[in-house]
Amino acid sequence: MASSLSFLLLSLILCYGVVQLQASHVYNHLQSTISSKISPPANEPYRTGYHFQPVKNWINDPNGPMLYKGIYHLFYQYNPNGTAWGPPVWGHSTSTDMVNWSPQPLTMQPEILANRYGSWSGSATILPGNKPAILFTGIIIPQPQNSQVQDLALPKDLNDPYLKEWYLPTKNNPVMFPTPQNQINSSSFRDPTTAWMLPDGKWRVLVGNKRATRGMALMFRSKDFVNWVQAKHPLYSYPKSGMWECPDFYPVYKNGKIMGAETSAIGSLVKHVLKASLDDTKHDIYTIGSYDTKRDAYTPDVGFMNASSLRYDYGKFYASKTFFDYSKNRRILLGWANESSTAADDVIKGWSGIHNTPRTIWLDEHNKQLIQWPISEIESLRGKPVKVPRREIKGRSTVEVTGITAVQADVSISFKIKDLTKVEKFDEKWTDPQLLCSVKGTTVKGGLGPFGLLTLASKGLEEYTAVFFRVFKAHKKFVVLMCSDQSRSSQNPTTDKTTYGTFVDVDPIAEGLSLRALIDHSVVESFGGKGKSVITARAYPTLATFKNAHVFAFNYGSSSVEITELTAWSMKKAKIA
pTM across the whole model: 0.93
Residue 557 has pLDDT above 50, yes or no: yes
pLDDT at position 10 is 31
Residue range 103-127, pLDDT digits in tens: 999 999 998 888 999 999 999 999 9
pLDDT band at 69 (very low <50, low <70, confident <90, very high): very high
As a whole-number percent, the residues of the chain with pLDDT over 70 amount to 92
d(CA 235, CA 297): 5
Q: Identify whether 61 is a catalytic site residue.
A: yes
Distances (CA, A) of 208 to 115, 162, 218, 299: 18, 29, 6, 17
Beta pairing partners, 229: 221
Residue range 343-399, pLDDT digits in tens: 999 999 999 999 999 999 999 999 999 999 999 999 999 999 999 999 999 989 999
d(CA 277, CA 283): 6
pLDDT band at 576 (very low <50, low <70, confident <90, very high): very high
As a whole-number percent, the residues of the chain with pLDDT over 90 amount to 85
| HEC assignment per residue over 332-378 | EEEEEECCCCCHHHHHHHCEECEECCCEEEEECCCCCCEEEEECHHH
Q: Share the mean pLDDT of the chain.
A: 92
Rounded to 5 degrees, what angle do the CA atoms 114, 117, 120 make?
80
What counts of helices (H) and strands (E) characterise the chain?
3, 39
pLDDT at position 255 is 87
pLDDT band at 184 (very low <50, low <70, confident <90, very high): confident
| Residue 319 and residue 245 in contact, taking contact as beta carbons nearer than 8 Å | yes
Higher per-residue pLDDT: 10 or 457: 457
Cis peptide before 450 (omega within 30 of 0): yes
The lowest-confidence range among 32-46, 88-102, 137-151, 216-230 is: 32-46
Q: For residue 2, give the 3-state DSSP assignment.
A: helix
pLDDT at position 460 is 96
What is the pLDDT averaged over residues 239-256? 96
In this structure, how many other beta carbons lie within 10 angstroms of the beta carbon of residue 572?
15
Residue 498 has pLDDT above 80, yes or no: yes
Residue 40 has pLDDT above 60, yes or no: no
Higher per-residue pLDDT: 33 or 342: 342
Residue 132 has pLDDT above 90, yes or no: yes
Residue range 211-223, pLDDT digits in tens: 999 999 999 999 9
Distances (CA, A) of 68 to 73, 95, 161: 7, 11, 6
Residue 14 has pLDDT above 90, yes or no: no
In 3D, which of 290, 309, 310 has the Cα closest to residue 301?
Answer: 290
In 3D, which of 236, 251, 150, 129 has the Cα closest to residue 196?
Answer: 251
pLDDT band at 293 (very low <50, low <70, confident <90, very high): very high
What is the pLDDT averaged over residues 434-439? 97
Residue 90 has pLDDT above 60, yes or no: yes
In 3D, which of 182, 290, 293 has the Cα closest to residue 228?
Answer: 182
Residue 30 has pLDDT above 50, yes or no: no
What is the pLDDT averaged over residues 286-304? 95
**Selected catalytic residue, list 61, 151, 279, 284:** 61
Residue 22 has pLDDT above 60, yes or no: no
In 3D, which of 525, 106, 153 has the Cα closest to residue 336?
Answer: 525
Distances (CA, A) of 284 to 219, 278, 302, 321: 20, 6, 17, 10
Residue 17 has pLDDT above 80, yes or no: no
In 3D, which of 236, 260, 259, 206 has the Cα closest to residue 309?
Answer: 236
Task: Identify the structural domains of the chain with CATH numbers, from first to last.
Answer: 58-376 (2.115.10.20), 382-570 (2.60.120.560)
